[in-house]
Amino acid sequence: MAIRFRGLLSDFSQLEYGYCPPEAVPLEEANEMEDVLVQAIRQSVPLFILVMALSAVRLMKGLDWSRDFSVWSLGIAFIIWVVAYMVLILAHEWIHALFFPRRAVKDVWIYQFQAAMVYCNTPVKRTRFIVMSLAPVTILGFLPFIGWLLGAAAVSPVVSIFWMSMCWSMIFGGVGDFYNVRNVIQQVPRGAYVFNYGLHTYWIEDPRKKK
């Protein structure tokens, strides 16, 4: 399984772009990373509101705020949170990588010391691309968040807030994935294949079909 950790990505020219067939169709998407982020956040606002509303209700009802906790415990929890966040953003990309074909080369990068990304030029089926995109946020974000909603009262307030905020970071960190999924659902025909080339996404008909 060719998953390579490539370290710090300081310039997108470091990516090994791979091959783009001449018949490939580019998706209509933003050209700059900043524009992608703005559009991704904008489309995710309803989800943010829902998650925060559910969290507020859970925090106000059912938690035992009478338990003692100190500034020291909050400080320790914050340090653990930072370390866990760095581990989980890499795990997020590793999960993406696991859903690409086994023999495909997948490069995992750290981007600007605060995010990570996986790059793979190998085409995958439209459905597989959607599942690959949503798998990390589901495994690391939504499922733990549901677990927190059900079990928040079983732990101390410090642990509960740590748990909740980590779920938030994993869910909100998936805005780029939600953006990609929406574009693929809206623009890529069923049965087509999707792949990355540089910073852009393309689709092609089944490459195994002979013209």
What pLDDT, on a 0 to 100 scale, did the predictor assign at position 59? Answer: 86
145-to-58, 73, 98, 101 alpha-carbon distances in Å? 11, 22, 23, 29
Give the rounded percent of residues in the chain with a pLDDT score beyond 70.
Answer: 92
Q: Looking at the predicted structure, is the pLDDT value of residue 71 above 90?
A: no
109-to-28, 101, 104, 123, 127 alpha-carbon distances in Å? 25, 19, 16, 20, 25
Q: Looking at the predicted structure, is the pLDDT value of residue 211 above 60?
A: no
Alpha-helical runs (H) found in 31-156: 33-60, 71-98, 126-137, 143-151
Nearest alpha carbon to residue 202 among 183, 178, 174:
183
Mean pLDDT across 47-61: 92
Q: Looking at the predicted structure, is the pLDDT value of residue 65 above 80?
A: no
- What does residue 104 show for φ and ψ, rounded to 5 degrees? -70, 150
pLDDT digits (tens, 9 = 90+) for 88-127: 999 999 999 999 998 899 999 988 766 789 999 999 999 9
For residue 207, name the pLDDT band (cuts at 50, 70, 90): low
- Which segment of 67-71, 72-76, 102-106, 157-161 scores lowest on mean pLDDT? 67-71
Q: Looking at the predicted structure, is the pLDDT value of residue 49 above 90?
A: yes
DSSP 8-state assignment for residue 27: -
